[in-house]
Structure 1
Amino acid sequence: MTTAEAILTAVTWWGVIGGIVAVVFLGYGIDRIDEDADGAFVFRPLLVPGIVVIWPLVLWRWYCLASGRDHWAHRHRPRRHRHRIFAYAMPIAIVAVIVAGLAVRQSWPDHIAPERLSPPAEDSQ
């Protein structure tokens, strides 16, 4: 089995499992964990692509919410204690990437003369 076949097989199985999780979650589970979704069937097909892609996270959140392991009081508390770190780190990282990109930039080869392209010839029929 080549690497491409292995990747294609893995992506196929990921999609199959994600599709099964999407069908089961949207048909059975979403009504149990979100009372606002009870009877709302129009928006559910819109959730299918996202559930297929992140099905392990969907299963984990479904388990946490259904078993009562979710800390509701902490769910909506903003996690801002790291914002200051990222506020300083992101501009430094952006400048570092730009400087590194300019430092490793290749120069144009001087021994190659530019060549003027001519327009395509018209067909006479």
Structure 2
Amino acid sequence: MEAATIVVALGQAWLLAGLAVGIAFLLFGLDRVDAAARGAYGFRPLLLTGLVLLWPLVIWRWLEALAPAPVPCAPPSLRRRHKRAHAVLWLGLAGLLPLVLATALVLRQHDLPAPASLRIDAGAREAEE
């Protein structure tokens, strides 16, 4: 029983720390991490459950937002190449997924035996008798 008590205590500590971090983040940090969230207060309570569970990532992102912005290291030409590579990969996936589906339909098993018929009301008749 001691192991279960330890696990429950660790879970409670995780949730309490997450609740503290989540409330502090909603009040003071969300505007710094996401500029689009400024002035939008209606959706913030909806974020609390995710913030409670993922509080180490929230702290990490919050600290990144507080740090000075790094100098961009990728020149625009490299960004264009990345976008082009992503477009090629997405188009490849768009062609590959229907091919996989068609292959699965062609290779599916057709000679499976039909399931045995079962009367649903048979049990009700026996219970009446």
Shorter-chain TM-score: what band?
Answer: 0.5 to 0.7
1:58-77 pair list within 5 angstroms:
58-69=58-69
Q: Is the 8 A contact 2:18 2:52 kept in 1?
A: yes
Q: Deviations over 1:51-70 (max 9, x none)?
A: 23443443332222211236
Closer, same or farther in 2 for the Cα pair 1:102/1:55, shift >3 Å? Answer: farther
- Aligned residue pair count: 114
Q: Is the 8 A contact 2:15 2:53 kept in 1?
A: yes
Unaligned runs of 5+ in 2: none
Q: Which sits farther off after the overlay, 22-31 or 48-57?
A: 48-57
Unaligned runs of 5+ in 1: none
SS in 1 for 2:91: helix
Closer, same or farther in 2 for the Cα pair 1:105/1:17, shift >3 Å? Answer: farther
Shift of 1:41: 4.0
Shift of 1:45: 0.7
Shift of 1:26: 1.1
Q: Partner amino acid for 1:63?
A: L
SS in 1 for 2:83: coil
Shift of 1:106: 7.3
Closer, same or farther in 2 for the Cα pair 1:46/1:100, shift >3 Å? Answer: same
- RMSD, matched Cα: 4.4
Closer, same or farther in 2 for the Cα pair 1:101/1:40, shift >3 Å? Answer: same
Closer, same or farther in 2 for the Cα pair 1:71/1:54, shift >3 Å? Answer: farther
More helix by share: 2
User: What CA distance in whole angstroms lies between the structure 1 residues aligned with 2:12 and 2:19?
Assistant: 10
The partner residue of 1:115 within 100, 114, 117 is 117
**Given the alignment of the two structures, is residue 99 of structure 1 paired with residue 103 of structure 2, yes or no?**
yes
Alignment-derived partner of residue 46 in structure 2: 46
User: What CA distance in whole angstroms lies between the structure 1 residues aligned with 2:44 and 2:18?
Assistant: 15
Alignment-derived partner of residue 29 in structure 1: 29
SS in 2 for 1:68: coil
Query: TM-score scaled by structure 1?
Result: 0.53
User: What CA distance in whole angstroms lies between the structure 1 residues aligned with 2:107 and 2:11?
Assistant: 38
